[in-house]
Amino acid sequence: MVFNGPPVARRAFQSTSTPKRPFPRLPVPSLHHTLEQYLRSIDPFLDDTSLTGHKIKSDAVCERQAWLQDFETGVGARCQERLLELDKVSEFNWLDDNFWLRKAYHEPRIPLLIHSNWWLALRPDPQPQLAEGHGTQVVASGITEHQLKVTAWLIRGFLDLKVRLDRFLLNLRTEHWARRPALRMYNRCRVPREDMDVFASPSPASDPDRRKILVMVNSQCYAIQVLDSDGRPRSPRTIEQSLRKVVLDDARQHARRCLPVGIMSSDDRSSWAKNREHLAALSSQNTRFLNIIDQSLFAVSLDSACQVPEHSLADQSETAVDAHLHNIRSGPMGHNRWFDKSFTLITEPCGRTGMMGEHSPCDALVPSMMADYAISEPINHSAFSSELSSPSESTSADVEYMSWVTDSQLEDACQVAAARAQAIIEASDDSLLDFKTFGTAWISEAKLGADGFIQLAIQLAWYRQQGAFTAVYETALTRAFLNGRTETIRSFTTESRRFVEAMVDTHASPTIRYVLLKDALRVHTGLTRKAVVGRGIDRHLLALRLLMKEDESSPVFTDPVFWKSQEWLLSTSGLSAGERFVGTGFGAGFEDGYGINYMAGPDRLRFGIESKKPCPTTSTAGFKELLRTSLLDMQTLCLAQGRDAHL
């Protein structure tokens, strides 16, 4: 789903005297509507007789109609009644309070590294000083002067935003939906448990640990205080001084550095749960350090190596961007990261920056808005003048090194986790497609829906590579509702299938192809509108299935078509235009699929594409070229129709 419009930045968080409106609750969809829409959504899968017991399509449709009718009047009706009752006693909504957080995020045991966390590379600070070679002097441990200033400036930006959020200093357009999820990004940490993860229980607002951030350098952990006792952010210069103290202390610690315990957070959740529990049991000091991390505002990773040479900082080629994205995504082989933190600000010696975050607190549009705010103003070098710092601000007692107590068991665990992280990283086939031929401006001029156009191009590229169709997951935000999260847009439809088939059929005329394009876009627009107002089907079907009792069953949920329609080999999500971002991404949901995050700007379309190298049927490089070709072919088709219309 594309979110058009100008950059959010600081003007989206301006003061306002507009009265606040209450949030409506996420509605429980009509059972009849959901089942009716579900039947339509599986229609393009019913051509595959291997899924339907080799029945002809008309018979397969009739069979599923009968199943759905029985479900609606029987077990489905009972489950719907249970859901309505559950909604009445849910604090925020029936979905997030009871099902989504648990099933989508906290129950899966896969590592967060690449598989679940998102990543976002930010545009470099537009300062001439760096281009001229200033600020690249190394302070210690590979960290540069410019890096410290960039980091301190961005930390202050994120802190300023938190103050605005706390004080309701937002305009109505943003406040109505962004304030709650944005605040959930601060002082939040996911804690591994053997069977199901949890969020760390928040400590009282007076807890000093809630005024700190976690800083990592060379896989060592530090805590620095960045808010005073009244919750006011410390000055950029004071934050820079604290960071400098961290870097200098790390250099002194070089010969006696602790185990890189953060690497264990990259492991599968059950292994990390056992190892974290053992880490805490070894020492009360370890328990205190873990609590600091859990309660801290957010994490900062000072990386000591730049993935792109300094003279190439202005290089925005796909190769340079890929190197930057890979470091933001996974760090130096999974090191120097704490993957459980809600978000981590990452900086490199050459001045490149980015964010990586844990997905369960909220969805990626919110942290991208936060990042847009933090980087919207270039560094003000005068802010680092000694005259601008408060005399009361001191770093003497505000920096703490986390000297972990460890043993041979944890040493082995770190080695195992590091090996597994390396395997995950080396298997990831992750690259950016920066398509500059056209963007949303031209698509709009052609009187077409930008998001639907992009989705059809993705499906066409998939079919050209695979010679088959697949279910497509597209994210829609239910942000208009209290604690609304997401719904699925089932972008693969009967109409999109017909369009793709026509595009690869050499006998199909351009006129027929264009008619089918318009038809597919119309259907996609309708599905999107339903999803964003809480009338999607996938979250509802999930709840109904989970509310069935042990002695209840339905062929609806044992049908191979049901599961095939949720085998999202194409997992897609649109972000903003991303004018201040270099690239973004998330991992493929299936080993033989793609994870595709796209930013649709007026003059360019950028796609972060991830797949798995061991899979013989996927190739990110190959898919990029097919997607590029598909976009061009679709533009050619539309331009030809426009010319014909004027003849």
**What is the tens place of the pLDDT at every residue in 556-580?**
999 999 999 999 999 999 998 889 9
114: tokens are 């690449």
pLDDT at 316: 75
Task: Please tell me the distance from the alpha carbon of residue 510 to that of residue 105, in angstroms, as a whole number.
Answer: 44
Q: Is the pLDDT of residue 315 over 80?
A: no
Assess whether pLDDT exceeds 60 at residue 10: no
Other beta carbons within 10 angstroms of residue 318's beta carbon come to 15
Confidence of residue 292 (pLDDT cuts 50, 70, 90): very high
User: What would the mean pLDDT of 231-241 be, rounded to a whole number?
Assistant: 96
Band (262; pLDDT cuts 50, 70, 90): very high
Answer yes or no: is pLDDT of 134 > 70. no
How remote is the C-alpha of 247 from its chain's centroid? 30
* pLDDT (average), residues 126-131: 57
Does residue 3 surpass a pLDDT of 50? no
Asked if residue 247 lies in contact with residue 217, where contact means CB atoms within 8 angstroms, the answer is yes
Q: Is the pLDDT of residue 15 over 70?
A: no
**Cβ–Cβ under 8 Å, residues 459 and 343:** no
- What would the mean pLDDT of 583-591 be, rounded to a whole number? 97
pLDDT in tens, 517-527: 999 999 999 99
User: pTM of the full predicted structure?
Assistant: 0.94
Question: What would you measure as the largest C-alpha separation in the chain, in angstroms?
Answer: 81
Helix (H, G, I), strand (E, B) or coil at 341: strand
Question: What's the pLDDT at 308?
Answer: 64
Q: Summarize pLDDT for 147-170 with one digit per residue, the tens.
A: 999 999 999 999 999 999 998 887
Predicted pLDDT at 317: 81
Place of tokens 């695979």: 466
**Interval 73-88 mean pLDDT:** 98
CA distance 387 to 360: 42
Sheet of strand 472-477, all strands in order from the earlier edge strand to the far edge? 428-435, 605-612, 594-600, 570-574, 472-477, 486-490
Is a pLDDT exceeding 80 seen at residue 18? Answer: no
Which has the higher per-residue pLDDT, 336 or 2?
A: 336
| Residue-averaged pLDDT of the chain | 92
Q: What is the pLDDT of residue 137?
A: 84
H or E element at residue 401: strand 399-401
Mean pLDDT computed over 401-410: 98
Render pLDDT for 526-536 as a digit per residue (tens, 0 to 9): 999 999 999 99
Per-residue pLDDT averaged across 591-598, rounded? Answer: 98
Per-residue model confidence (pLDDT) at position 364: 83
- pLDDT tens column, 612-642: 999 999 999 999 999 999 999 999 999 998 7
Whether residue 19 has pLDDT greater than 60: no
Q: What are phi and psi of 609, to 5 degrees?
A: -120, 125
pLDDT value at residue 643: 67
Q: How far is CA 65 from the centre of its chain?
A: 37
Q: Contact 194/207 with Cβ under 8 angstroms?
A: no
Domains and CATH numbers, the chain: 25-101+436-645 (3.30.559.10), 138-428 (3.30.559.70)
> Is the pLDDT assigned to residue 313 strictly greater than 70?
no
* For helices 75-89 and 538-546, angle between their N-to-C axes, nearest 10 degrees: 100
Paired tokens of 70: 């029985």
Of residues 52 and 496, more confidence is placed in 496
Mean per-residue pLDDT, 200-215: 97
The stretch 303-331 carries a mean pLDDT of 81
Neighbouring CB atoms inside 10 A of 24's CB total 12
430-470 tens-digit pLDDT? 999 999 999 999 999 999 999 999 999 999 999 999 999 99
Place 135 in a pLDDT band, splitting at 50, 70 and 90: low
Q: Which pLDDT band, with edges at 50, 70 and 90, does 311 fall under?
A: very low
Residue 173 has pLDDT above 90, yes or no: no
The structure tokens 């876009």 sit at 521
Three-state secondary structure call for residue 164: helix
Q: Could you tell me whether strands 212-217 and 220-225 are parallel, antiparallel, or unpaired per DSSP bridges?
A: antiparallel
% of the chain with per-residue pLDDT over 70: 90
**Residue 51: phi, psi to the nearest 5?**
-90, -15
What pLDDT score does 175 carry?
A: 55
Catalytic positions, written as ranges? 359
Reported as a single tens digit per residue, the pLDDT across 324-377 is: 999 999 999 999 999 999 999 999 998 899 999 999 999 888 999 999 999 999
- Measure Cα distances from 66 to 71, 258, 556, 561 in Å: 9, 64, 10, 15
